[in-house]
Amino acid sequence: MRSLSARIGLELLGSFSLAYAVVTSFALHAAPDLGTFLSIGLALAFLIHLFGRSSGAHFNPSVSLMFFGQKTLADPTGFWANLLAFFGYALAQTVGIWLGFHTRPFLPPTGPFGLRATLVEVSMSLALFWLIHAWSEEGRICPEARPLSGFVVGAALTCLLFLGCADSVGIFNPAFTFAFIGLGAHGLGQIMVLQLLAGVVMIFAPKPMTAKTKS
């Protein structure tokens, strides 16, 4: 396993790349459509295959929070080592995504979300985090342990973005939400808190039986 500082650096680079892919996908389409969401899903799949073995390819503080609670972020897996790793990952992800969204003009979603949109956002975040939980191994979304993990998570993100666009939701990432607030979006504070709470809930989710056997 790489050193913590190296993994944090890779998380920053991967998070920046993901945010840049999102900005570019929206810039290439006059209005968000299936092509937009497919581009983002493919970008995530590629980044998981590129970074999954080294940093874990979290790119999301809620995902890192889930792995922190499961004590799989650091080696050795002590509380303080995992806590340090979580703060390092979360900071790197937030900075990387912030920088990525400032590479070109981007109009963030506007709030406040109504009750329906909030429930859809939280439900879809839980679904995505559960899938990541099921397809991860020792705190990593790792194609080496699960060769299809990048494809599965990327495809799931594409589907959730497409389904969520009707309710103007589909963020699933508190670092994205924080960047949107920095870009002038209003009414997203509660969404960021709920996204983090979704990561906490997944700490206690059991692994599916099929996910317990290594590939």
Alpha-carbon distance of 71 to 61, in angstroms, equals 15
Which CATH number do you get for residue 177?
Answer: 1.20.1080.10
Alpha-carbon distance of 170 to 168, in angstroms, equals 7
Least confident of 84-88, 96-100, 140-144, 188-192: 140-144
Alpha-carbon distance of 181 to 161, in angstroms, equals 20
Mark 179-214 as b/e (b = at least 16 C-beta within 10 Å): bbbeeebeebeebbebbbbbbebbeeeeeeeeeeee
Residue 196 has pLDDT above 50, yes or no: yes
Q: Which pTM does this prediction carry? A: 0.93
Alpha-carbon distance of 75 to 52, in angstroms, equals 16
**Per-residue confidence (pLDDT) for residue 214, from 0 to 100:** 46
For residue 137, which phi and psi values (nearest 5 degrees)?
-145, 115
Percent of the chain beyond pLDDT 70?
94
- Overall number of domains in the chain: 1
pLDDT digits 0-9 by tens, 98-125 = 999 999 888 877 666 788 889 999 999 9
In which domain, by residue range, is 167 found?
4-211
Residue 86 has pLDDT above 60, yes or no: yes
Alpha-carbon distance of 209 to 169, in angstroms, equals 31
**Per-residue confidence (pLDDT) for residue 92, from 0 to 100:** 98
